[in-house]
């Protein structure tokens, strides 16, 4: 209701009227005031009841957002249980790591991250020799370049004759599979092959096709990769022992079971092993094994055997720190992208991968296994890849106190059976990178590289590793957010 108050009105034209007498007043002023007041009250009351009656007949519109008085104070702990949970858990781990940080050698780095927070960063960008931890970088690149469904194929061809079951030559063509093995060889390994491709199975497949006589030779062909058997910068004492000879056709890491030394030519060694298995299955082989550069045009396909999928091959490489597998994976990376099965081509692809992933500082690599002391990488480089590929890399790593190169580490530690890692060891180098899974949440991610004289001795690095394990043990799944809510 709008209430108007009259104001004096002055007309725009002359109006004739009788002059008022000055001093005129009502005979009963009180009666006039009361009458006006009563009249105003009646008008206001009528308006109120009219509006109330109208409002009662109208259904109000519902609001899109319901505004209500909050039942919990703005600063209450119940409003930030996730924040409080994270702060409580992170604080314990951060404090536990602080004592270890001062023990990291000057030529060393330590980085630890959890729940999106950096809890320790000691010279994280410093380039250091990572030793076999390089295999994590090789694996990460292979997963991207080759893909998780990639498998190696080893093929068998034959120059057939008109006689049933008789072939002149049998050709064993390598496809780069680094884990073809005989059962007898596996029994001799320190770290036993567990995702290998069975040469016995391949021999059985050949026999199943009806081959009974090879009047010529079993011929090894390894033209998929180059013929460089070792990486140029490796010390000669690493040859035949730590790795090599390398080739696209490799059986038993180049070993011929029963012979004390590896042959120089891995393709000949592979052909020799297949000859032994076929002979044991009643196949007559007349000629000596040999190595040819290419498959002849008249060769006919006999059979094929495929490796396990790439993630299982990479797990073999990482758990057992298999140098041959790492170098052959690197050559396959080169073959896949550059059509050149060489170390140089593989390294070129890896460098581009690091640039594409914006890894900084960019690692400088000489090989795929980490055997070279000229390799350089930072803890930060490892962290970026470990974080970006955690779901793929974590299941591929050794388990503390249980498998591979970590089978004797952390045995009397809370990390036993829990920590997942890749080790690295050279003279004056010790590295450990990986994850600590936390129940119901994100894993702790860490990289710890030390370059110092004698650091590869157990008495030097084990106390530091154990200190890291004790610190990481502070990473708990509790208190959860729901436990902190009132």
Tell me, what CATH number does 338's domain have? 3.40.710.10
DSSP 13-69: S----PPPPTT---S-HHHHHHHHHHHHHHHHHHHHHHHHHHHHT-PPPPPSS----
Does residue 399 share a domain with residue 268? no
Torsions phi, psi for 119 (to 5 deg): -100, -20
- Between 59 and 367, name the one with better pLDDT: 367
Identify the CA nearest to 383 among candidates 91, 125, 90, 166.
125
pLDDT band at 41, cuts 50/70/90?
low
**Residue 278 and residue 172 share a domain:** yes
| Number of structural domains in the chain | 2
Percent pLDDT > 90 in the chain is: 78
User: Last residue of a domain, which of 308, 331, 365?
Assistant: 308
Question: What average pLDDT does this structure show over 394-405?
Answer: 98
Question: What is the mean pLDDT of the segment spanning 275-288?
Answer: 98
| Higher per-residue confidence, 215 vs 59 | 215
pLDDT at 72: 41
The answer as to whether 268 is a domain residue is: yes
pLDDT of residue 92: 80
Rg (CA), the chain: 41
On whether residue 355 sits in a domain, the answer given is yes
Q: Is 387 a domain residue?
A: yes
Question: What pLDDT shows up at residue 2?
Answer: 39
429/238 Cα distance (integer angstroms) = 16
- Rounded to 10°, the helix 458-472/81-101 angle is 160
Residue 220 and residue 319 share a domain: no
Residue 478 pLDDT greater than 70, yes or no: no
Question: Which DSSP helix (H) or strand (E) runs through 466?
Answer: helix 458-472
pLDDT at 64: 34
**What does pLDDT average to over the chain?**
86
pLDDT in tens, 172-199: 999 999 999 999 999 999 999 999 999 9
CA–CA gap between residue 237 and residue 429 (Å, rounded): 18
In a domain, 172, yes or no: yes
For the beta carbon of residue 246, count every other beta carbon within 10 angstroms.
26
Choice among 46-50, 137-141, 238-242, 425-429 with the minimum mean pLDDT: 46-50
Q: Look at residue 66 in the predicted model and tell me its pLDDT.
A: 26
Determine what percent of the chain falls in helix, strand and coil, rounding each to the nearest 5.
35, 15, 45
**Pair 221, 366 in one domain:** no
**CA 279 to CA 5: how far, in whole Å?**
123
Residue 1: what pLDDT?
42
The CA-to-CA distance between both ends of the chain, in Å, stands at: 51
Residue 181: Cβ-neighbour burial (10 angstroms; 0-12, 13-18, 19+) = buried
Specify the CATH number for the domain of residue 249.
3.50.80.20
303 DSSP β-pair partners: 156
Residues 163 and 293 grouped into a single domain: yes
Q: Per the domain annotation, does 332 fall within a domain? A: yes
pLDDT band at residue 440 using 50, 70 and 90 as cut-offs: confident
325 with 466, same domain? yes
Bridge partner list, 55: none
pLDDT band at 87 (very low <50, low <70, confident <90, very high): low
Domain-terminating residue out of 252, 281, 308: 308
pLDDT at 439 > cutoff 80: yes
Indicate whether 348 belongs to any domain.
yes
Residues 170 and 284 in one domain: yes
Q: Is the pLDDT of residue 75 over 80?
A: no
**Are 284 and 335 in a shared domain?**
no
Whole-angstrom Cα distance, residue 373 to residue 449? 13
Q: For the ranges 28-32, 55-59, 229-233, which has the lowest average pLDDT?
A: 55-59
Least trusted range by pLDDT, from 89-93, 119-123, 287-291, 350-354: 89-93
Same domain, yes or no: 168 and 135: no
Mean pLDDT calculated for residue range 356-373: 97
| Pair 136, 190 in one domain | no
Q: Which domain holds residue 181?
A: 153-308
- Among 282, 308, 334, where does a domain finish? 308
- pLDDT of 71 above 50: no
Band (17; pLDDT cuts 50, 70, 90): very low
Residues 380 and 459 in one domain: yes
In a domain, 346, yes or no: yes
Whether residue 166 lies inside any domain: the answer is yes
Q: What is the pLDDT of residue 91?
A: 81
Mean of pLDDT values over 136-149: 98
Q: The tokens 């702990």 sit on which residue?
A: 77
Is the pLDDT confidence value at 390 over 90? yes
Are residue 342 and residue 469 in the same domain, yes or no? yes
pTM for the predicted model, two decimal places: 0.81
Write the CB contacts of 448 (distance below 8 Å, at least 6 apart in sequence). Answer: 104, 108, 109, 110, 379, 431, 432, 433, 464, 465, 468
């Amino acid at each position: 209701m709008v209430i108007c108050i009259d104001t004096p009105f002055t007309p725009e034209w002359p109006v004739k009227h009788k002059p008022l007498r000055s001093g005129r007043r009502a005979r009963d002023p009180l009666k006039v005031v009361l009458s006006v007041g009563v009249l105003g009250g009646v008008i206001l009351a009528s308006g109120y009841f009219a509006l109330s009656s109208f409002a009662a007949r109208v259904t109000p519109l519902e609001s899109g957002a319901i505004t209500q008085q909050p039942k919990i104070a703005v600063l209450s702990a119940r409003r930030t249980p996730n924040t409080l949970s994270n702060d409580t858990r992170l604080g314990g781990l951060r404090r536990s790591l602080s004592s270890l940080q001062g023990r990291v050698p000057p030529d060393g780095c330590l980085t630890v991250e959890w729940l999106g927070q950096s809890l320790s960063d000691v010279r994280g960008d410093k380039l250091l020799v990572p030793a076999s931890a390089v295999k994590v970088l090789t694996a990460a690149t292979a997963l991207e370049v080759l893909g998780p469904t990639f498998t190696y194929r080893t093929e068998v061809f034959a120059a057939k004759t008109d006689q049933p079951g008789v072939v002149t030559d049998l050709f064993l063509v390598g496809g780069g599979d680094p884990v073809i093995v005989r059962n007898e060889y596996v029994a001799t390994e320190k770290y036993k092959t567990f995702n290998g491709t069975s040469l016995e199975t391949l021999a059985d497949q050949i026999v199943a096709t009806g081959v009974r006589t090879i009047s010529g030779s079993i011929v090894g062909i390894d033209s998929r990769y180059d013929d460089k058997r070792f990486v140029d910068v490796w010390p000669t004492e690493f040859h035949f022992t730590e790795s090599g000879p390398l080739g696209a056709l490799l059986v038993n890491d180049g070993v011929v079971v029963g012979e004390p030394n590896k042959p120089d030519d891995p393709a000949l060694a592979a052909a020799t092993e297949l000859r032994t298995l076929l002979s044991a299955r009643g196949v007559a082989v007349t000629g000596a094994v040999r190595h040819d550069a290419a498959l002849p045009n008249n060769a006919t396909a006999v059979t094929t055997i495929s490796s396990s999928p790439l993630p299982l091959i990479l797990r073999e490489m990482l758990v057992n720190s298999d140098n041959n597998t790492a170098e052959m994976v690197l050559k396959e990376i080169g073959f896949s992208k550059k059509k050149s099965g060489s170390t140089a081509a593989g390294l070129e692809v890896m460098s581009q991968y690091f640039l594409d992933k914006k890894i900084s500082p960019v690692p400088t690599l000489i090989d795929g296994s980490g055997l070279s002391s000229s390799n350089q990488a930072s803890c930060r480089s490892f962290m970026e890849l470990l974080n970006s590929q955690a779901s793929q890399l974590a299941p591929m790593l050794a388990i503390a106190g249980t498998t591979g190169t970590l089978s004797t580490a952390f045995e009397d530690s809370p990390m036993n059976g829990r920590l997942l890692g890749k080790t690295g060891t050279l003279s004056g180098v010790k590295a450990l990178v990986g994850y600590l899974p936390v129940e119901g949440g994100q894993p702790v991610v860490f990289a710890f590289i030390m370059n110092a004289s004698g650091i590869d001795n157990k008495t030097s690095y084990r106390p530091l590793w154990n200190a890291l394990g004790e610190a990481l043990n502070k990473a708990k799944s509790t208190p959860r957010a729901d436990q902190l809510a009132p």
